[in-house]
Structure 1
Amino acid sequence: MRLESLEMSLEWPDSLPLTDLRKFVLDKLKDVGEPLRWAITSITSSKKVKSSRLLKVEAVLIIH
């Protein structure tokens, strides 16, 4: 078991309500490892898709 620092960008579609954002981010992080701590460090409008926003997420994960 080890700790790993990760920075990732995620597209947050307009169809996803704010109340579901936490689950959305955690599900994406769990694809890589077990989230120990995480934070959304910035939110910007996506250049690719006008109806979505780009999240910058920084996390510390437990890798088994």
Structure 2
Amino acid sequence: METVKEQLIIRKDDYELIVAYLKGGLNRNSFDRHNAEELEAELKKAKLVNKNNFPADVVRLNSKVKILDEKD
């Protein structure tokens, strides 16, 4: 499976929710802290979009996605 890394696109309200969660978890164990730091670094590079301009084909928080095998 080929992985293509593109810029993260995230709605501003989802971004704010995730950042608030990360800031509330300062007393995590070192493994969780490391993952939180990596997530925070990715979020800093993300393109923030208002909900009115958010693309319909981008998965966001609480989305339901059905993945189909391309061979079928």
Question: Normalised by the size of structure 2, how large is the TM-score?
Answer: 0.24
Q: TM-score, normalised by structure 1?
A: 0.25
Greater CA radius of gyration, 1 or 2? 2
Query: Which one has a larger percent helix, Structure 1 or Structure 2?
Result: 2
Compare the two structures and name the one with the higher strand fraction. 1
